[in-house]
Chains A and B, each alone.
Chain A
Amino acid sequence: MSGPDLGRLLAMTRKEAREFRRTPFILGAMVVLPVIFIIEPLIDIFRLGSSTPASAVQKVVGVTFLLMLIVPAVLPSTIAAYSVIGERDQGTLEPLLTTPVRRSELLLGKALAAMIPSVLVSYVIFGVVLLCAHLFAANQTVVATLSNGPEILAEVLFAPLLSGWSIAVGTGISARASDVRIAQQLGTLASLPPLAVTALVSFQVLTPSVPVAVGFGLGFLVIDIAMWRVVAAMFDRERLITGARALAAGGGGGGGRPPGTVRRIQMVQEGDHE
């Protein structure tokens, strides 16, 4: 069995991206969330005076880093929660599944489409906040802390990994849910727990360092991979189409036949194959 076909995977990603661009809800979220998550931390940063105590500065930095990571954690889960059930709702899932597309290509294609903009938005927010702090912040401690290597590394590593978790959970819920809104609400809720871990680093409960950032990053990676395996297993064509799980798979087996009741028509040659 060969791996995913890149052409089909990218076709799925391209299709999703086109749909996102034309979906007001998603487009709105992509625009509004960054604005909020840029303005809110900048207000906090600009309010810090040059003599603000270090503990207060650290609190602002912690909140800032946490806010930066909310976008990759929450936004893709909302998109992913729509991904499967949305297809089912508009009747596109069945034609899609009758093509040669593989489960991995379909899921990865959708995941990439949700992850790329979310992570990019997150990086842009972080970059803008960092730049504005450097240019306009009165408190130099906050600038130095925001520019701390391990903090930046954690931000860079955690954004895609949180996004990966969030998409996996959202897709899993989407594959089993029967209502888009419920799927999105559950997806958002389920995407939040990993933020608790990042909060430990952001608020320096765990002292940020390169090993801590990399360690947590690896931990997230392992969890993401495990989660994706679970989601892939949940993505059962039969269940998605009929709502029922396959009771006996393996078409082509020669099961026992009850006595035939087919009414044969004399002039039709239907009996030879039996």
Chain B
Amino acid sequence: MPAGPSRADGAPGALRPSRPAHWGRYPAAMVQPAPGPGGEGAALPARDGPALRVSGLTKRFGDRAAFEDVSFEVARGEVFGFLGPNGAGKTTTVRTLGTLIAPTSGSAEVAGLPLSPQNGEAIRRRISVMPENPGLYSRLTVRENLELFASLYGLRSPGERIAGALDAVRLADRSEDRCGRLSKGLRQRVGLARALLNDPEVIFLDEPTSGLDPVAAGEVHDLINGWRQRGVTVFLTTHRLAEAERLCDRVAILNTRLRSVGSPKDLRASLFGGSLVVETATPLPDPRAVFAGVAAVMEWTEGGNGTYLLSVADPRQAAPQVARAVVAAGADLISLAESQHSLEDVYLQLIDDDGSAPR
């Protein structure tokens, strides 16, 4: 059984906070389980195992598959990125796991409960979903919007929860403003405050930074990091690959079918292997002879002007051998560096592998 990714310091999401300490956190009072009316909350089974377990999940609309045979697990407390081109099925997956639509086949567990019509209400108590459009009542104030959702979740002490959520997104001073008069960034923050109200085990965020300026997007990132520190599981769909690389412990790349799952680092290593970029002062007279003599070099290509790209299994092990070989060949070594691939490279490679344009 997967134990989930390690949460070592230095993981992509472990960023130094650049905002006030309270940003992304909310009072301990808000961490109490939300009791359901009629005591429904009390009857819920114990929370162990992964936050999400998806197995062979498929959703079809007629002949068209929105997503097909999707399987993955998300550990509790993990920030899991869900990437894919437009129409890849990301939003439909979120809606399916959020109990809004029924899968055609396959199975899933959400927050410890099997995804089934019977469990819909119980699952919805344990999760929050923020769609791309936060969906606020524009004629109601920020507080009134949150009051509605606090009541729908049957929260005790809704006033405290609302105050805590507003503090967490730094909107306490805008609570009496009508949502229709807020900027997109502020509306997004209200949506995030709403997502916090029921103290969810799993938060689904569908493109939470779509249309936001870098500062506003950075604030959302800080909030997500705050949740990570509290052990909340975040399921994040995004088009921003740099965002996913920065925030997510692992990412899945979907193009109707799941193309890959792993940490950004593992995906890079798996897809591109290791590579070294060698630059010499002048082109090597016989590069074939130089690199063939280094056992660690699997392939090499010439980039021109004394630049060579070498495929290696382990760049750290291969680099000294390559350096010695180049120097032994009488060349002046200008630089020797590990080639860096971004998550974007991984993404584009996987999507290109499908051999067709995104749906």
Contacts and interface: CB of A to CB of B under 8 A. Distances in A.
Given A8-B154, A254-B106, A98 B100 contact: yes
A257 B69 contact: yes
Contacts of B104: 247-248, 255
Interface stretch (A11-19, A171-179, A191-199): A11-19
A263 B99 CA distance: 27
Interface of A: 2, 5, 7-8, 10-12, 14-15, 18-19, 22-23, 90-102, 237-238, 241-242, 244, 246-258, 260-270, 272-274
A263 B270 CA distance: 10
Given A90-B137, A91-B131, A269-B2, A251 B117 contact: yes
B194 interface: yes
Contacts of A18: 139-140, 144
A269 B262 CA distance: 8
A248 B96 CA distance: 13
Contact of B36 (A11, A15, A94, A100): A100
A246 B260 CA distance: 28
24 contacts: A11-B147, A12-B148, A14-B151, A18-B140, A18-B144, A95-B135, A95-B149, A95-B194, A98-B128, A99-B124, A99-B153, A100-B36, A102-B121, A250-B116, A250-B117, A254-B107, A257-B56, A257-B69, A260-B71, A262-B257, A265-B262, A267-B262, A268-B261, A272-B1
Interface of B: 1-3, 5, 36-38, 53, 55-56, 58, 60-62, 68-69, 71-73, 92, 95-96, 98-108, 114-117, 119, 121, 124-125, 127-131, 133-140, 144, 147-149, 151-154, 191, 194, 250, 257-263, 266-267, 269-270, 350
A14 B227 CA distance: 31
A241 B71 contact: no
A262 B154 CA distance: 40
Given A8-B37, A94-B100, A270-B71, A22 B60 contact: no
Nearest to A22: B139
B261 A19 contact: no
Contacts of B137: 15, 19, 90, 92
Given A99-B152, A241-B95, 17 more contacts: A7-B151, A7-B154, A11-B147, A90-B135, A238-B101, A250-B116, A251-B115, A251-B116, A252-B119, A254-B56, A254-B105, A256-B105, A257-B105, A261-B69, A268-B261, A270-B2, A273-B71
Contact of A251 (B3, B96, B270): B96
Contacts of A251: 96, 99, 102-103, 107-108, 115-117
What's the dominant secondary structure at chain A's contact region?
Answer: loop
Nearest to B131: A94
B132 to A, nearest CB: 9
Contacts of B152: 8, 11-12, 96, 99-101
A268 B135 contact: no
Contact of A5 (B37, B124, B139, B266): B37
Contact of A265 (B62, B95, B266): B266
Contact of A257 (B106, B127, B130, B194): B106
Which of A99, A244, A247 is the most central at the interface, judged by chain B CB atoms within 10 Å of its CB?
A: A99
Nearest to B130: A95
Contacts of A2: 38
Given A19-B140, A94-B135, A265 B260 contact: yes
A257 B127 CA distance: 27
Contacts of A100: 36, 121, 124-125, 152-154
Nearest to B141: A18
Nearest to B121: A100
A258 to B, nearest CB: 6
A207 to B, nearest CB: 48
Contact of B135 (A92, A242, A269): A92
B302 to A, nearest CB: 30
Contacts of A247: 60-62, 104
A1 B56 CA distance: 30
Which of B101, B138, B153, B154 is the most central at the interface, judged by chain A CB atoms within 10 Å of its CB?
A: B101
Contacts of B99: 98, 251
Given A7-B37, A100-B36, A241-B95, A250 B102 contact: yes
Nearest to B354: A261
B333 to A, nearest CB: 32
B14 to A, nearest CB: 19
Contact of B100 (A11, A241, A257): A241
B129 A95 contact: yes
Contacts of B101: 237-238, 241-242, 246
**In the A-B complex, the 6 residue pairs with the closest CB atoms:** A255-B105, A11-B151, A265-B262, A269-B2, A252-B116, A268-B262
A274 B121 CA distance: 27
Contacts of A8: 37, 151-152, 154
A5 B151 CA distance: 10
Nearest to B98: A98
A262 B255 CA distance: 11
